[in-house]
Amino acid sequence: MVFSSLLFVCLFLPLNLAAYYIPKKNSTRNIIMLIFSLIFYAWGEPLYVLLLLFMTFACWMFASGIEKSKQEKPKKAKFFLFLSCLVALSLIGIFKYSSFVIDNISALTGADIQMNPIPLPIGISFYTFQLLTYVIDVYRGDAKAQKNYFNLLLYASLFHQCVAGPIVRYSDVADEIMNRKPDMADFNKGVMRFSSGLAKKVLLSNQCGSFADTLVLGDSALANSDLLAENISTLSGGSAITLWAGMLFYMLQIYLDFSAYSDMAIGMGLMTGFHYKENFDYPYASSTVSEFWRRWHISLGSFFRDYVYIPLGGNRKGEVRTILNLFVVWALTGLWHGASWNFVLWGLYFFVFITLEKLFLAKLLKKIPAFFRHFYLLAVVFFGWVLFRFENTEIMFTVLKGMFCLNSNPIATHEILMYLKDNFVFIIIAVLACSPVVKTAKGLIDYYSKRSQAVNVIYSVYRAVIPAVLVIISAICLVGDSYNPFLYFRF
C-alpha cells in the first residue's frame, strides 16, 4: 500500500487513528500499530512480510547476545555483531543484488548463467538499514537491546517509514516505543504535515511525473527491453528543449515525491507520538554538492556517515585515506539506490564533485557570487538525475546528446513550446514548492501576526481549514486516477 492511495487515505489511516486512540495503554497501542503495520506491508508483499519478520528476529536475537556478552566477552559480542550484519546484508544481497551480481559475472566470464530474477521486496533497503542501526547502536552502547521481539518488529515494520523512509535510528525512537505521550500540539503539527505532504505528492509530484513520462518516457516503457530501439528513436527525435524540460520535470518530481513521503511519515509519527528527524531541508537551495547531500535524504547520508565513513576512519587518517573512504561511501550510496551500474555511476559522480570540493572547489566557489554557486549545484544535480533515471547507457547517452542537439534533433518544436507555455503556471508553482519560499512566507506571516490581530485572525482561519481542504482535494484527484507512481521500488 502507498500513502497516496485512496484506500490508504479513506480507509487505512482513519481506522488506524481510531483504533490507536481507543486504548490508553502504550503497550496496547503498540500492538495496534504492529497489526496495522503488518497489514500495510503484507498488502504490498503478502509473502515477503515473512522476510521482514525473520530479519527482525535474527537481529533481535543477536542484539540480546551482544548485550549479554558485551561486558565480559567483548569478542563474543563482536561475533554477534558480525553475525547480525552478515544475516541482514546477505538477505539484502540475495533479494536485491543477486541478479545484478550474476549478470556481471556472466558478462565478465562469458558464462551463461540463467537465473529467474527475484522480485525485490518493497522497502528492504529501508528496514535492513534500520535494523543495522539497531544492532550497531546496541553494540556501541547507544541503545539498550529490546527485550520484546514485537517491540523491535514494530520499530522495523512501522508503516510510517517502513517502505520509503526516513531511515529512523533505533536510538532515536527507543524511548518512544516503550513510552510515548502523544499530545494535542504534536497532533496538530502532524495533521498539517501529513496533509501538505499528501497534497504535494498528489497534486504536484504526480503531475510533474506525468509530464516527465510524457517528455522523456515513463518507467514501464524504459524498463521494457523489447522497446529499446523504439525508445531510442523517440528520444533521439525529441527536441533539445523537450529533453531539458522532461528532465527538469523529473528533477522536480523526485524531490517533491520523496520529500512528500517523508512529510507524510513525519506527520503520521507526530499524530501518534513518534518524533522522526527531518529528512529533507530544501536541498535544491544548496550551493555546494556537500551541502546538497547534507540536505537531501538526510537520514541516508547520516547513516553512511555514522555507520560507514567514520568507522572507516573518516578524515582522520590522511588525505588519501579520506578520499578512499569517500569513494567507498559514495559507491555504496549509489548502489543502495538500485542494483544497476548507473546508480553506482551516479554515486561516484557525486564522489568526484565532493572530493573536488574538499580539495579546492569549495574555496573557489566561495569567491564567486551566490547565484553562480547555486547554478553550479543545480547543474551538477540535474545531470546527476540523468544518470539516475536511465539505467540503459545507450538511452542515457541519447538523452545527453539530444540535450545539446547532437542527435541532429531540433532545438525546439512548436509542440514543446506550446506545451511549456500551456503549463507555465504549474511549472512556477512546482518550482516554488521545491524552494524555501513557503517557509519564508510563514515566517513573515508569524512576524506580522504578532503585530496585527487582523493578520493573525485571517491566517488562523486559513490554517484551520487548509489541512482538511488539502485532504479533500487530494482525495478527489486520486479517484479514478491510475497514475500514481511509486518511485522507491528499486531502493
Partner 1 sequence: MKKKSKPDRKKVVRVRRLAYTAASLFFIVTLTALCALSFALPLRPEFSESEKRDLAQFPDLSAEALFSGDYFDDINLWFSDTFPMRDSLVKKSTQIKKLLGVGQSVHHFSENSGDDIPDAPEDEIQSMVDVSPDVPESQSANDLLKPAVPPSTTEKAPSGNGGNVLEQTLGSVYIYGNTAYEYYNFVRDTADNYVKAVNKGADEASKNNINFYNMLIPTSIDITLDTEARSKLNTSDQQDAINYMNASMNKNVKKVHIYDLLKAHKDEYIYYRTDHHWTALGAYYAYAQFMTVKGGNYASLSDFSQYGFSGFLGSFYNDSNKNSALEKTPDTVFAYMPKGDISFRMMQEGSTDFINWPLICDVSDYNASYKYLCFIGGDNPLSVIENNSMTEGETCVFVKESFGNAFAPYLACNYKTVYVVDYRYFDGDITDFAKEKGATDIIVQSNISMTRNSSLVNKLAETL
160 is catalytic: no
Least spacing, CB of residue 270 vs partner 1, in Å: 11
* Residue 489 is a binding residue for partner 1 (CB under 8 A): no
Q: Looking at this protein, which amino acid is placed at residue 178?
A: M
Q: In terms of CB distance, is 24 or 451 closer to partner 1? A: 451
Residue 406 is a binding residue for partner 1 (CB under 8 A): no
Q: Shortest gap between Cβ of 219 and partner 1 (angstroms)?
A: 15
Q: Are 308 and 329 in contact (CB under 8 A)?
A: yes
**In whole angstroms, what is the distance from residue 45 CA to residue 121 CA?**
7
Is residue 118 involved in binding partner 1 (CB under 8 A)?
no
Q: How many helices (H) and strands (E) does the chain have?
A: 25, 0
Contact with partner 1 (CB under 8 A) among 82, 424, 447, 483: 424
Angle between helix axes 49-69 and 124-140 (nearest 10 degrees) is 10
Find cell 552478515 and name the residue. 86
- Catalytic residue (one of 160, 297, 337, 374): 337
Residues between 211 and 250 that touch partner 1 (CB under 8 A):
214-215, 234, 237-239, 242
Number of residues that bind partner 1 (CB under 8 A): 76
Per CB under 8 A, does 453 bind partner 1?
Answer: yes
d(CA 313, CA 308): 9
- Cα–Cα dist 307/96, whole Å: 20
Q: Dihedral of the CA atoms 478, 480, 485, 488 (nearest 10)? A: 70
Does the footprint of partner 1 cover residue 69 (CB under 8 A)?
no
Return the H-helix or E-strand segment holding 277: none
Give whichever of 428 and 437 is closer to partner 1, judged by the CB atom. Answer: 428
Asked if 17 touches partner 1 (CB under 8 A), the answer is yes
Judged by DSSP in three states, 338 sits in: coil
Please report whether residue 422 would count as binding partner 1 according to CB under 8 A. Answer: yes
Interface pick for partner 1 out of 141, 176, 188, 336 (rule CB under 8 A):
188
Grid cell locating 61:
536475537
Q: Does 418 bind partner 1 (CB under 8 A)?
A: yes
Regarding 413 and contact with partner 1 (CB under 8 A), the answer is yes
Determine which residue in the list 416, 434, 488, 491 makes contact with partner 1, applying CB under 8 A: 416
Which residues in the 34-63 window bind partner 1 by CB under 8 A?
A: 43-47
Near partner 1 in 130-149, by CB under 8 A: none
Question: Residue 34 has what DSSP assignment?
Answer: H
Q: Output the CA torsion 146→148→154→157 (10° steps).
A: 80
Is residue 431 a contact residue for partner 1 (CB under 8 A)?
no
Smallest gap, in angstroms, from Cβ of residue 189 to partner 1?
8
Question: Considering only residues 449, 487, 489, 490, which one is a binding residue for partner 1 as defined by CB under 8 A?
Answer: 449
Alpha carbon 47 to chain centroid, angstroms = 24
| Given 13, 63, 222, 248, the residue binding partner 1 (CB under 8 A) | 13
* Element at 28 (helix H, strand E): helix 26-44
Which residues belong to the active site? 337
